[in-house]
Structure 1
Amino acid sequence: MSSEERPLAQHWVATAPGGPDSWEFVEERLAAPGHGEVTIRVHASGVNPADAKHVASGGSGLEFPVPIGYEVSGVLSAVGPDTRIGSGAAAIGDEVIAFRVRGGYATAVTVPAEKVFAKPSTLTHPEAANLLLVGTTAAEMLAVTGAAPGETVLLHGASGAVGVSVLQQARLRGIRVIGTASTDRFDEVRRFGGEPVRYGPGLADRVREVSAGPVAAALDAVGTDEAVDVSLELVADRRRIVTIAALGRAEAEGIQAIAGSMPASARFRDEVRSELIALAQNGDLVVPVARTFPLDEARQAHRVLATGHPGGKLALIP
């Protein structure tokens, strides 16, 4: 296929370090998939804080321009020669999701086939496009703290995207979760099996009152000093405290920190993908979506995300 015959695709790129307001929405010819690659016509792109953080500082040896977006849901429009996707055989027209890819904020994207899986039929495209980044993060938080059936754990940020996935996965395993949230989000925490407590002064005492016993582990999805301090006060074993946001405090206090950029985290998250997709297919793992935006409004979506209280996941729709 000549370059003139390759389809055009629109996508967001960061041309230099900086936030979403500096990104550019461009149109380019799409690369045809080679062996081990597929092209996805994107129906929805998941919106995550990591999408912006990755390029904001320009660190980690990034070479600009950098395509934006880590996960999508859509339909296969081309399959490379002798290629299977992560979940098995694939054909043009199949509904799929892709995770840990580059350039997901696009109308179409060519990606490694191993990162592509059959889309759970129980989820809409906006929901499916937001399943795996938060889902694998939540699964890793439970895994590294060794949370076990019958134990009580404290979850900071229980009504957020990662928190909601933690609540669902913990409930399936018989783990009791006390989750911090604002009072107007208590019903959301209860909906997914958690016991809500209000964050703010006096949090440790409120958790003690609700727990009526030991708190075995703490999972911090917000990164505030309060979350770390209360976790340290309530959890006896620092190895059973994990954060995804307070990396500096983690190093200083000897608690665990995880991130998708860490090799161990990346391996775990790749290994758990199929399990989470199966849970979603069975209806045991849902993805609340608060709002969708047209693809060309990615900057506005990130402004809403930056408020810290979007009320659910966000998605971009080409």
Structure 2
Amino acid sequence: MRKVSFAEFGGPDVLRLLDAEEPHAGPGRIRIAVRAAGVNPVDWRIREGQKLSAHPIELPSGVGLDAAGVVDEVGEGVEGVEVGDHVFGEGSDTYAEFAVMSAWARMPEGLSFEEAAGYPSVVETALRIIREVGVEPGQTLLVSGASGGVGSAVLQIARDRGIAVIATGGAANQDYLRGLGAVATTYGEGWVERVRGLGRVDAALDLAGSGVIRELVELTGDPLKVISIADLGAPDLGVRFSGAAGSVPDALAEAADLIARGRLHIPIEKSYRLTEAAAAQIDSRAGHTRGRRVIVI
């Protein structure tokens, strides 16, 4: 099978598309024929050699966590899924023609493989950080860097739960953010004053790692009411960096429910071929994504 791999840490040029042995589903796992794989910031962070305790690796390593596809092997002890089922979820080395999955759910009716591959990690992350930051219905959540995949999920989940959102994003994404139910404003010079003018902020999320932790603490008045998923220096300012996943199966089940109820839709900004994995990661690292990027197998 074809698989994207890297043998040393570095830039996107270390990625190689190789012929590799097919993986097989061990106990408690399934294997899928991958139809699409999600492109996440954690993918290029790992490739660069950033120390992420939630994702220890050994070189050489494959790439990718999220995927959607067709079940073609079911491991010992697995129930409720059969060969031929269409599923989405998380696994390992998903930039490949076959991948072993550790958490999965049936794809909601009407969802394409390409769309489904864009949900797993971002919805799990969104649900986790909303929970960790402790924001309640009726309160206001500030989301910095809100137009990407996680931000798109956070805004819609918050709206479903009765949480008001102030969202910062680029000028071109203001209408997009408003369409997801947020009160939107641009980042850049004067953004703190613009946010203050929109009302009280009870909690805040840093999704872009753009050096705004001090300002988020200032706006909330409490470092414990700020969570970052992108700034590794956040703990130096008393702010929690959230990187360890919670219950992925529970998150996938909630994602499927939200999608089925029409309460969650994350658009695909761009699709890539397996041969374009490096370009996908370059674009992901550059940010400014509206929705998700996926690799179609």
The two structures share one fold, judged by TM-score above 0.5: yes
**1:42 paired residue number:** 34
Asked if 1:237 corresponds to 2:222, the answer is yes
Q: CA 1:270 to 1:32, structure 2 compared with 1: closer, same or farther past 3 Å?
A: closer
The residue type equivalent to 1:231 in the other structure is: L
- 5 Å-filtered alignment, 1:121-270, equals 121-211=109-199, 214-225=200-211, 227-248=212-233, 250-259=234-243, 262=244, 266-269=245-248
CA distance in 2 between partners of 1:110 and 1:237 (Å):
41
Supply the distance in 2 between the matched residues of 1:78 and 1:269 (Cα, whole angstroms).
Answer: 20
Q: Deviations over 1:167-195 (max 9, x none)?
A: 00000011110111112110110110001
Q: Equivalent residue for 1:5?
A: none
Q: Is the 8 A contact 2:25 2:31 kept in 1?
A: yes
1:111 to 75, 95, 101: 101
Contact 2:104–2:252, Cα closer than 8 Å, also in 1: no
Q: Structure 1: how far apart are the matches of 2:50 and 2:123?
A: 27
| Post-superposition CA distance 1:56-87 (Å, at most 9, x none) | 22756632111111010001122234532xxx
Aligned partner of residue 45 in structure 1, secondary structure: strand
TM-score normalised by the chain length of structure 1: 0.87
Measured in 1, the distance between the counterparts of 2:128 and 2:26 equals 33
Confirm or deny that 1:63 pairs with 2:58. yes
Counterpart-to-counterpart distance in 1, 2:50 and 2:215: 33
Task: Report which structure shows greater RCO (CA 8 Å, sep ≥6).
Answer: 2
Distance 2:105 2:126 in 1: 19
Q: Hey, what's the Cα distance between the residues in 1 that align with 2:129 and 2:110?
A: 25
SS at match of 1:224: coil
Structure 2 letter corresponding to 1:193: G
Q: Distance in 2 between matches of 1:179 and 1:296?
A: 35
**1-structure distance, mates of 2:101, 2:141:** 38
Counterpart of 2:95, as a letter, is: Y
**Higher Rg:** 1
2:261 paired with 1:282: yes
| CA pair 22-281 structure 1, distance change in 2 beyond 3 A | same
In the superposition, relative to structure 1, how do residues 29 and 291 fare at CA in structure 2: closer, same or farther (>3 Å)? same
Pair 28,311 (structure 1): closer, same or farther in 2 beyond 3 Å: same
Displacement of 1:196 in angstroms is 0.6
What is the CA distance between 1:268 and its match in structure 2? Answer: 4.5
Asked if the contact 2:44/2:285 (under 8 Å) is kept, the reply is no
Q: Quote how far apart the aligned CAs of 1:271 are.
A: 4.0
- SS of 1:210's partner is coil
CA RMSD of aligned residues (A): 1.8
Please say if residues 18 and 58 of structure 1, whose CA atoms lie closer than 8 Å, have aligned partners that are also in contact: no
Residue type matched to 2:210 in 1? T
Judging changes above 3 Å, is the alpha-carbon distance between structure 1 residues 236 and 50 closer, same or farther for their aligned structure 2 residues? Answer: same
**How many residue pairs align between the two structures?**
294
Distance 1:33 1:190, change over 3 A: same
Instruction: Give the CA deviation at 1:269.
Output: 4.5
Answer with 22-31 or 67-76: which moved more.
22-31
Q: Distance between the aligned counterparts of 1:223 and 1:163, measured in 2?
A: 13
Counterpart residue identity of residue 237, structure 2:
E
Partner of 1:18: 10
**Where does structure 1 lack aligned partners over 5 or more consecutive residues?**
1-8
